[in-house]
Amino acid sequence: MNDKNKIIAGLIIFFVVLLFPFWFNLIFGAADAATAPEPELTDKAKQAETCVAETDYMRTEHMQILDQWRDMVTRDGKRIYKAENGKEYEASLSNTCMDCHSNKEKFCDSCHNYTSVDPYCWDCHTYPEETE
């Protein structure tokens, strides 16, 4: 085969492109790698002490809970969520979640931006305007 050089060159280019995120971060990103944000709690949220589930669980699974809520409310019309801690909550993003966590920017957005997810909740659901 006479194309040995071409093949090797092609492979090198392929891997350089493939590994772009790694070498890019190594060279340019390392200096100011973002630290994981700590979502800020409002006073009301601090006072409540507990959310509809434990904090760790909420942190990883809140989207599943919201998913479940939305199906129950929009499809079955069941609006009261009896949580594992025995308390009852109205299953509503705007009226329950955002009642305590009224600081969308510092609570929701800080993590969502960090992990680069863009949930479309706010296309339809409202959140309290930040007053500070």
Partner 1 sequence: MENSRRRFLKTAGFSILGVGAGSMLIGLAPGPSEAAGPAAETKPVFVDRPDAKHARRWGMVIDTRGLDARTCRKMEEACHSIHNVPDHIGKFGNKNHEIKWIWDTEFKHAFPGQEAEFLSDRLENAPVPVLCNHCDNPPCVRACPTRATFKREKDGIVLMDFHRCIGCRFCMAACPFGARSFNFRDPRPAIEDENPEFPTRMKGVVEKCNFCAERLAVGKMPACVEASGGALTFGDLNDPDSDIRKLLADEYAIRRKPNLGTFPSVFYIV
Q: Please, are residues 58 and 49 in contact by the beta-carbon 8 Å criterion?
A: no
Q: Which residues in the 99-118 window bind partner 1 by CB under 8 A?
A: none
Q: Which residues in the 48-87 window bind partner 1 by CB under 8 A?
A: 57, 61, 64, 70, 72, 74-86
Provide DSSP, 12-80: HHHHHHHTHHHHHIIIIIGGGPPPPP-PPPPHHHHHH---SS-HHHHHHHHHHHHHHHHHIIIII---E
Q: Which residues in the 10-29 window bind partner 1 by CB under 8 A?
A: none
- Per CB under 8 A, the segment of 17-25, 28-36, 91-99, 102-110 that binds partner 1 is 91-99
Closer residue to partner 1 (CB): 20 or 71 = 71
Binding site for partner 1 (CB under 8 A): 57, 61, 64, 70, 72, 74-86, 90-91, 94-95, 120, 123-126
